[in-house]
Amino acid sequence: MRETLASKRQDVEWSIRNTSGEHNPNYGGGKYIDDKGYVRILDQNHPYSIKGYIYEHRSVFESYLNRHLQPWETVHHINEIKTDNRVQNLFLCTVPEHSAVHREGKKPTDSHRKKMRENMHKRNKETRENKKKNF
């Protein structure tokens, strides 16, 4: 005997109300940890929200500054724990400053240097060959 699909059952009232928001079994209260490990919170009215969610650390710092952060502003977690969103653990910087903070104290390994040299030589050779073709 053939089973009826759950969505075709007549004894269940199917509507958006039953499956969205807090009625959805996957709803986490408007807060979840994304695939990068950052806490995202529901704020559908935020000008920079993505599908209604914003990063909690940005929201915390916006509340502290009493203004929206610009897209070029980055909030760095001082202790590098992505879920520790206390104001004392957050530092406002630009994207290049943020990159510099993460590079600080790190030296490339010998194998990484070798790979960079190989790529550089390959690019230089390709550039020289392209110049010869254009003349």
64-97 pLDDT tens trace: 999 999 999 999 999 989 999 999 999 999 999 9
Q: Are 38 and 55 in contact (CB under 8 A)?
A: yes
Fold of 7-104: Homing Intron 3 (I-Ppo) Encoded Endonuclease; Chain A (3.90.75)
Q: What is the mean pLDDT of residues 105-110?
A: 75
**In this predicted structure, what is the pLDDT of residue 131?**
72
**Exposed/middle/buried for 85, CB within 10 Å: 0-12, 13-18, 19+?**
buried
Q: Are 55 and 43 in contact (CB under 8 A)?
A: no
Amino acid making up residue 13: E
Tokens coding 65: 């500054």
Query: Among the residues of 29-104, which ranges form H helices?
Result: 56-65, 95-103
Please report, for the chain, the start and end positions of each structural domain, with discontinuous segments joined by +: 7-104, 108-135
Pairing of strands 53-55, 73-77: unpaired
**In this predicted structure, what is the pLDDT of residue 37?**
94
For residues 52, 58, 64 and 65, what is the CA-based torsion angle, rounded to 10 degrees? -90
